[in-house]
Amino acid sequence: MDGNSHGNLAKSYIMDRKSFIKTTSLGIGLAVLPQISCANKVISNEETQTDPKIVENHEGKVFNVIGDIQTHKLTGSDTGNQLVEWVDDVEPGVGIPPHIHTKEDEIFRVINGQVEILIGSQTTILNKGDIAFAPKNVAHSWKVVGTEKAKMITSAFPAGIEHMFRELGDLPPGPPDFEEVAAICNRFGIRFLEI
C-alpha cells in the first residue's frame, strides 16, 4: 500500500468516525433527553420529596402485634411510601405462621437471638447478623427458636403494611381471634396458608 492509499484510508476512517460520532451523539442525545426530562419531573414533584430523619434507638411507635413487639422506626409517611422499617423484639416460641404478601417484599435482619425462617421451600436458622429476603408472592414464616429473646430489624417495601400492624395492635389483649386477624391481613393483601 502506497502512502497516498494509506492517506485516503485514514481520511476515509476519520470521515466515517466523524459521521459515526455525529449520528451517535444525536442518537444518544435523543435517547437520553426524555430520561433527563422525566428525571427532572420526579425531582421537582413535591409529592415524592421526603425530609431527612434520624431515629434514635429508644424512639419509635410500639405495637404489640400478636406477641411480636414491633417498634416502627420509619413509615411510609417518612419515606415517600417507599418502605417501612421496624424492630421486632420477640420472646422464644413466638412467630408468624406461613403467609404470602401480594404487595410488598420483606427483608429480615437478626440482631440478637435465633430465628427459624421459611421462605418458599427453604427453612434455615438465622443467627446474629444474618439476613433473609422474602419477595412478594412467595410463602414465608418465622419463629424465634432457642432460649434467648430475639431482636430483628424488618423492612418492607413499598410501605403500607404499617397500617395493618396498627389495626392488629389495636386488637384486645389475650389470645387473638384468628379469623379476625386473617380478615385484617387479607384487606392488606396478605393471606395465611393452611398448615
**Residue 68, pLDDT score:** 93
* Residue scoring higher pLDDT (152 or 19): 152
Asked if 136 and 158 sit in the same domain, the reply is yes
The answer to the question of residue 52 being in a domain is: no
Asked if 106 and 10 sit in the same domain, the reply is no
Q: Please answer whether residues 53 and 85 qualify as being in contact, where contact means their C-beta atoms are separated by less than 8 angstroms.
A: no
Asked if 164 and 91 sit in the same domain, the reply is yes
The answer to the question of residue 139 being in a domain is: yes
pLDDT tens-digit readout, 57-88 = 999 999 999 889 999 999 999 999 999 999 99
Percentage of the chain surpassing pLDDT 90? 69
Q: What is the pTM of this model?
A: 0.74
The answer to the question of residue 182 being in a domain is: yes
Band (pLDDT 50/70/90 cuts) for residue 162 is: very high
Asked if 91 and 143 sit in the same domain, the reply is yes
Q: Please state, rounded to an integer, the average pLDDT across all residues of the chain.
A: 84
Asked if 70 and 41 sit in the same domain, the reply is no
**Residue 106, pLDDT score:** 98
The pLDDT of residue 110 is above 80 = yes
Average pLDDT over residues 44-66: 84
The pLDDT of residue 14 is above 80 = no
The answer to the question of residue 164 being in a domain is: yes
The answer to the question of residue 56 being in a domain is: no
Alpha-carbon span 51 to 40, nearest angstrom: 18
Domain hosting residue 169, numbered range: 61-192
Band (pLDDT 50/70/90 cuts) for residue 179 is: very high
Asked if 83 and 119 sit in the same domain, the reply is yes
The answer to the question of residue 54 being in a domain is: no
Asked if 29 and 67 sit in the same domain, the reply is no
Which DSSP string corresponds to the chain? --HHHHHHHHHHHHHHHHHHHHHHHHHHHHHHHHHHHHHHHHHH-GGG--------TT-SEEEEETTEEEEEEE-HHHHTTS-EEEEEEE-TT-EEEEEEESS-EEEEEEEESEEEEEETTEEEEE-TT-EEEE-TTS-EEEEEESSS-EEEEEEEESS-HHHHHHHHHTSPSSS--HHHHHHHHHHTTEEEPP-
From residue 160, give the alpha-carbon distance in Å to each of 45, 138, 169: 21, 18, 15
Number of domains in the chain: 2
Percentage of the chain surpassing pLDDT 70? 75
The answer to the question of residue 39 being in a domain is: yes
